[in-house]
């Protein structure tokens, strides 16, 4: 059955969903890589498609920006559409010195300044982490494709325009590689649902150094990350 945010009928969504933030990036992946892609959702223009990749059904759908948005879409996919795994393919801002524009980062863990975990009423702090199985598959796929990747902690922030100008430098001191806005919520939803999740991120800007790529590049040129995710899908 459909949900308030997803018009797909039962069986229209594959067990593995690739999830960029930008729905136009979802359309690009579907039209570039999938055989016979079919659009299953246009509600709120959050486009979703299912097609075949090397004979395997794969879906790709936008998540929107921020943890509340990916929280809604990933929850519905896990709980109402029997999706088993979600691979986020997103952009991030590099904050570690060794991270450069266009690098691909595997988010092994997701630090956060969000209160998203409060809903679970845990007796302590929860550490949102990726599925090791998916992360291992992604790293192996990257090696086959000849794409170097960096793996480690990322920061999922509720703020894009934050008032504390020192916050990223503080996270950098703790070895955090990059900042984005969705991974922690996805990892928590997957954990609660007993499902799998992984975040693959391409560095679109380095805010501490004032470096960035144009919006068009973020939408259509981060193909190495997309190909790693597709090779990881099952």
Among candidates 65, 88, 79, 64, which has minimal Cα distance to 233?
88
Q: Which of 22, 97, 164, 205 is labelled catalytic?
A: 205
CA distance 114 to 126: 12
Beta strand pairing call for 56-61 and 48-53: antiparallel
pLDDT at 163: 96
For 30, 121, 125, 168, 187, the CA distances from 159, given in Å and listed in that order, are 30, 23, 20, 11, 18
Q: Is 205 a catalytic residue?
A: yes
pLDDT given for residue 80 in this prediction: 97
**What pLDDT score was predicted for residue 1?**
66
Provide CB contacts within 8 A for 209, sequence distance 6+. Answer: none
Q: What domains are defined for the chain?
A: 16-232 (3.40.50.1580)
Res 219: pLDDT: 60
pLDDT in tens, the chain (234 residues): 689 999 999 999 999 999 999 999 999 999 999 999 999 999 999 999 999 999 999 999 999 999 999 999 999 999 999 999 999 999 999 999 999 999 999 999 999 999 999 999 999 999 999 999 999 999 999 999 999 999 999 999 999 999 999 999 999 999 999 999 999 999 999 999 999 999 999 999 999 999 999 877 766 669 999 999 999 998
pLDDT at 216: 74
């Amino acid at each position: 059955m459909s949900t308030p945010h997803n018009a797909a009928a039962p069986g229209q969504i594959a067990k593995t969903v690739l999830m960029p933030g930008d729905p136009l990036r979802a359309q690009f992946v579907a039209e570039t890589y999938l055989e016979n892609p079919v659009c299953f959702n246009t509600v709120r223009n959050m486009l979703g498609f299912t097609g075949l990749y090397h004979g395997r059904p794969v879906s790709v759908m936008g998540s929107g920006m921020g943890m509340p948005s990916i929280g809604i879409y990933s929850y519905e996919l896990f709980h109402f559409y029997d999706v088993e795994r979600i691979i986020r393919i997103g952009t991030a801002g590099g904050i570690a010195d060794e991270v450069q524009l266009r690098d691909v980062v595997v988010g092994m863990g997701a630090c956060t300044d969000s209160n998203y975990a409060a809903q679970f009423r845990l007796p302590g702090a929860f550490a949102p982490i990726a599925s090791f199985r998916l992360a291992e598959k992604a790293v192996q796929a990257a090696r086959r494709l000849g794409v170097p990747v960096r793996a480690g902690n990322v920061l999922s922030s509720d703020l894009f325009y934050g008032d504390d100008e020192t916050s990223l430098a503080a996270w950098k001191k703790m070895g955090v590689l990059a900042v984005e806005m969705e991974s922690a919520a996805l990892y928590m939803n997957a954990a609660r649902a007993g499902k799998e999740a992984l975040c693959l991120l391409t560095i679109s800007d380095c805010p501490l150094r004032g470096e960035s790529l144009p919006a068009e590049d973020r939408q259509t040129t981060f193909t190495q990350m997309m190909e790693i995710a597709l090779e990881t899908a099952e």
